[in-house]
């Protein structure tokens, strides 16, 4: 008999239209409404990248590709995965997804958050919300906690970085630096709780240094918020300036490996803000394509989720 298993794909979420920016930003701030100028500033950033972020569309595409991959893999075992999308800061919220699962009679599900590195304050927070809701309905959840060390994930970035490096004239290759980054978080939260997040990014950086053809590699943090307290650093823009001052690199390749698709934090914080610094110092900005629904990236799910059912 066919067994139906829930597949809960969780992601950050983005406003679907400008009128939702205020509510979305208020949710990010845990219910505290941002100042009007902060809301205006965020709207302006969305306008800069084309009005809305492609995140919603790509999250759906990634989730559907994942479901299809799994359904092909588990056909022989007579297991069917039914997809639910649960977002952190906008509808459909994580709680909506669990409620729908319950209505559909699902009592077992796997969950995955579309970000590679684990922090108690990122993936851990999504999982906690899902667990609390699942408990109400008696749904049993199995979480994928991280996938930064999955060979296919690393292979994806190695391939893209090497491809970008090959576009650089041969004689300038040694004058090139790779900056590997993830979303920053407030330093006190991470340090006090011995959070694994910084070590996981460090490990990704190490693997990319070992396996790609780039000689010079640095690690940075990006997209930090405005909380008046220190965040994990160095910030990628400051890092660009200091690396340039010290080494006069001609080319900067940015790999924002803490994200898996095109969205505001990449299209604005990397493609606009980091490029601005590169332009300022007279270096060339490069940013390899994000994984999105690249087949190599989608293959990584197979390996990770196979662990649960074989
Ligand atoms: O394309 C889009 O519309 C949304 C892109 C987006 C992603 C994303 C991922 C992460 N965030 C993380 C942590 C924080 C913390 C704060 C914070 C603030 C914002 C704001 C926007 C935003 N984040 Fe985000 N984040 C995205 C978007 N994020 C917009 C608000 C304006 C701003 O600060 O720029 C600070 C909250 C505060 O102000 O108190 C903390 C982490 C990730 C990566 C993991 C994940 O995807 O969950 C960590 C994508």
Q: Judge whether 12 is annotated as a binding position.
A: yes
Atom of ligand 1 nearest to the CA of 121: 48
Ordered domains of the chain (ranges, CATH): 3-146 (3.40.50.1400), 151-286 (3.40.50.1400)
Please, what are the averages of pLDDT over each run of 10 residues along the chain (310 residues)?
A: 94 98 97 97 98 98 92 89 98 98 96 96 97 98 92 95 98 98 95 93 98 98 92 98 98 98 98 98 98 88 55
Tell me the per-residue pLDDT of 42-79, one tens digit each, with 9 for 90 and over. 999 999 999 999 999 999 999 999 999 889 888 888 99
- Ligand 1 pocket: which of 129, 265, 266 to mutate (most atoms within 8 A of CB): 265
Q: How far apart are CA 223 and CA 193, in angstroms?
A: 21
Residue ranges around ligand 1 (CB below 6 Å): 12, 14, 25, 28-29, 42, 53, 55, 115, 122, 183, 185, 225, 227, 258-259, 263-265
pLDDT at 308: 57
Each residue of 228-281: pLDDT tens digit?
899 999 999 999 999 999 999 999 999 999 999 999 999 999 999 999 999 999
How many angstroms separate the alpha carbon of residue 246 from the centre of ligand 1?
A: 31
> For residue 138, what are the CA distances in angstroms to 1, 34, 185?
22, 37, 33
Dihedral over alpha carbons 90, 95, 97, 100 (to 10 degrees): -130
Binding site annotation covers 126? yes
C-alpha distances (whole Å) from 132 to each of 7, 92, 140 are 17, 17, 11
Give residue 276's Cα distance to chain centre.
23
Per the structure block, which two tokens stand in for 258? 């803490």
What pLDDT, on the 0 to 100 scale, is given for residue 26?
98
Pocket test for ligand 1, best of 125, 183, 190, 273 (most atoms within 8 A of CB): 183
Q: What is the pTM of this model?
A: 0.96
């Amino acid at each position: 008999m066919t067994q139906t298993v829930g597949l809960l794909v969780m992601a950050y979420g983005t406003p679907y239209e400008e009128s939702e920016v205020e509510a979305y930003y208020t949710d990010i701030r845990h219910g505290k409404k941002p100042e009007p100028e902060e809301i205006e500033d965020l709207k302006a950033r969305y306008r800069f990248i084309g009005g809305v972020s492609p995140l919603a569309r790509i999250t759906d595409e990634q989730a559907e590709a994942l479901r299809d991959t799994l359904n092909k893999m588990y056909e022989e075992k007579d297991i069917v995965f039914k997809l639910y999308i649960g977002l952190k800061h906008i509808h459909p919220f994580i709680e909506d997804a669990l409620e729908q699962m319950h209505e559909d009679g699902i009592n077992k599900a796997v969950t995955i958050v579309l970000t590679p590195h684990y922090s108690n304050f990122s993936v851990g927070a999504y999982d906690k919300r899902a667990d609390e809701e699942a408990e109400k309905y008696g749904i049993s959840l199995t979480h994928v906690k991280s996938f930064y060390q999955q060979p296919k994930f690393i292979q994806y970035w190695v391939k893209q970085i090497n491809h970008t490096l090959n576009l650089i004239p041969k004689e300038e290759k040694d004058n090139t630096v790779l900056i590997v980054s993830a979303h920053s978080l407030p330093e006190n939260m991470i340090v006090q709780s011995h959070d694994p997040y910084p070590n996981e990014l460090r490990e990704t950086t190490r693997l990319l240094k070992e396996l790609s053809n780039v000689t010079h590699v640095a690690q940075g943090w990006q997209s930090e918020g405005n909380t008046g307290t220190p965040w994990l650093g160095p910030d990628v823009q400051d890092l660009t300036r200091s690396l340039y001052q010290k080494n006069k690199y001609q080319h900067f390749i940015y790999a924002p490996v803490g994200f898996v698709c095109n969205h505001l934090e990449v299209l604005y914080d990397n493609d606009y803000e980091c490029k601005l610094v590169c332009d300022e110092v007279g270096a060339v900005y490069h940013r390899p394509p994000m994984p999105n629904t690249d087949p190599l990236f989608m293959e990584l799910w197979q390996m990770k989720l196979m662990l649960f059912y074989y």
